[in-house]
């Protein structure tokens, strides 16, 4: 009877800690209360299935096998259901959670075999679960969250094979068809398998962290390259304006002499033409300024220069102060990606359709990017993010992924619309007021 109680409680603890792992490590699409409620319901259903395989049909290996498969499906589906992004990374985390909680169950079995004391086994089970959960949450929770939120442009289905094989090994060695109670010779194998799993996960997580850092470094390099080119372009415009204005200042005395002569003749029409010419020269050499923020203004000037050869009319409503509540480089990169996509979409259209309407506001209270432009052909949307997919094939589309990551970081929303060959993207994020 003591063995039955130990199994019941051990399985229940496994389900509880599995859902705790899922709740803490995944980025949910629901509120915290709703996510917790879903996890509790899934945990309750898996406990009912334990009652089926451990009591109602105890000893039936077929029922045990298929009931366990159903429990695995429920556990993994719960993780995919509550996650904000449902892809291979979420499945990898869910499968990893199964391996971590199985370590606690094996620990309880080993302690009971050597002590024959149910309470020692259960306390060891709980302590092992708590230690693993606490260490993982403190050490790698941020890596997991970054791993889920950043789109690295790759599929990670192959990575899921690691926890799958470990789980199958644990199941065969410690639970099915013979348990450790029935075949204690597998205890040493189980211990070394647990150590191997922990070491393997350290290597995998370091690899994931390295991949994320490489992507971040890539985009920072792209950003700085774009920023430097923008500064070069801006410097060229300033130098050209200064040179032309120096010429104008040199020639102004000749204009003044001509105007005096025309005044004496009363030829006011010619005077008006000269004044208009001087005004045109000044306007042509005026360095355009979109906003007070140097970094953002540089990027906007760069995109404007890219649009000029295609005679694209960019109508921009820009409200960005010098100091903004977001990372200026990341914000500028987002604007560069979105505006360059818009330029690419309209550059081959008819002249009257080469227009981009942009409303870009960034204040202490909110961030708004509202872009609208015509497009030709077809736009395909990603079923997970709702954002347009690149038409250039594999290796492209990282720009929109960086926009999504920036929006997620701010806790904002992105919405895209296509209607009557007009594409519109709205990114909005509201900032919490800073208490003084």
pLDDT at residue number 250: 61
Sequence-distant (≥ 6) Cβ neighbours of residue 9 within 8 angstroms: 122, 125
Distinct helix (H) and strand (E) counts, the chain: 11, 5
pLDDT at 97: 84
pLDDT at 435: 40
What are the two backbone dihedrals, phi and then psi, of residue 226, each rounded to the nearest 5 degrees? -65, -40
pLDDT of 367 reads 93
One DSSP character per residue, 349-362 reads: S-GGG-EEEEEEEE
Which pairing describes strands 422-430 and 355-362: parallel, antiparallel, or unpaired? Answer: unpaired
Q: Provide DSSP, 293-338.
A: -HHHHHHHHHHHHHHGGGT-EEEEEEE--SS-SS-HHHHHHHHHHH
Q: List the domain boundaries for the chain.
A: 2-212, 289-436
CATH class of the domain whose range is 289-436 = alpha beta
pLDDT mean for each 10 residues of the chain (436 residues): 75 88 84 90 90 79 84 89 79 83 83 85 87 78 61 62 82 76 81 81 71 65 62 60 63 70 76 72 61 80 85 90 86 86 88 91 91 82 65 55 81 84 90 57
Count of C-beta atoms within a 10 Å radius of residue 218: 12
The pairing of beta strand 413-419 with beta strand 422-430: antiparallel
User: Can you tell me the distance from the alpha carbon of 114 to that of 188, in angstroms, rounded to the nearest whole number?
Assistant: 13
Q: Which helix (H) or strand (E) holds 371?
A: strand 366-374
Q: What strand order describes the sheet that includes 422-430?
A: 313-319, 355-362, 366-374, 422-430, 413-419
How far is the C-alpha of 404 from the C-alpha of 382, rounded, in Å? 12
* SS3 state of residue 266: coil
H/E element holding 25? Answer: helix 2-25
């Amino acid at each position: 009877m003591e063995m039955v109680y130990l199994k019941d409680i051990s399985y229940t603890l496994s389900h509880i800690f599995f859902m705790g792992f899922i709740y803490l490590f995944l980025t949910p699409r629901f509120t915290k209360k709703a996510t917790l409620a879903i996890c509790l319901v899934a945990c309750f259903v898996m406990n009912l299935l334990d009652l089926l395989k451990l009591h109602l049909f105890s000893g039936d290996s077929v029922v045990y096998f298929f009931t366990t498969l159903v429990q695995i499906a429920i556990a993994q589906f719960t993780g995919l259901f509550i996650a904000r992004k449902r892809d291979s990374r979420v499945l990898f985390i869910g499968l990893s959670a199964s391996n971590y909680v199985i370590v606690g169950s094996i620990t309880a079995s080993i302690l009971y075999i050597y002590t024959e004391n149910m309470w020692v086994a259960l306390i060891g089970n709980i302590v092992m679960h708590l230690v693993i959960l606490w260490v993982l949450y403190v050490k790698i929770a941020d890596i997991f969250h970054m791993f889920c939120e950043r789109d690295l442009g790759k599929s990670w289905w192959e990575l899921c094979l690691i926890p799958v094989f470990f789980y199958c090994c644990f199941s065969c060695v410690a639970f099915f068809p013979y348990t450790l109670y029935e075949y204690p010779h597998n205890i040493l194998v189980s211990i070394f398998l647990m150590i191997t799993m922990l070491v393997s996960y350290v290597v995998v997580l370091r690899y994931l962290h390295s991949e994320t850092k490489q992507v971040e470094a890539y985009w920072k390099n792209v950003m700085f390259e774009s920023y430097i080119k923008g500064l070069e372009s801006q410097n060229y415009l300033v130098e050209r304006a200064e040179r032309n204005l120096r010429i104008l200042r040199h020639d102004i005395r000749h204009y003044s002499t001509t105007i005096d002569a025309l005044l004496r003749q009363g030829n006011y029409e010619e005077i008006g033409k000269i004044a208009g010419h001087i005004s045109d020269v000044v306007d042509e050499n005026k360095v355009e300024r979109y906003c007070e923020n140097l970094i953002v203004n540089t990027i906007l000037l760069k995109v404007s220069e890219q649009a000029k050869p295609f005679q694209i009319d960019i109508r921009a409503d820009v409200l960005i102060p010098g100091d903004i509540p977001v990372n200026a480089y990341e914000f500028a990169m987002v604007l560069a990606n979105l505006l360059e996509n818009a330029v690419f979409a309209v550059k081959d259209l008819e002249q009257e359709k080469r227009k981009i309407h942009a409303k870009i506001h960034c204040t202490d209270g909110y961030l708004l990017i509202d872009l609208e432009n015509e497009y030709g052909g077809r736009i395909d949307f990603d079923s997970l993010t709702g954002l347009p997919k690149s038409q250039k094939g594999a290796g492209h589309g990282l720009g929109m992924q960086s926009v999504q990551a920036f929006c997620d970081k701010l806790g904002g929303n992105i919405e895209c619309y296509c209607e009557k060959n007009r594409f519109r993207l709205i990114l909005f994020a509201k900032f919490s007021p800073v208490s003084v």
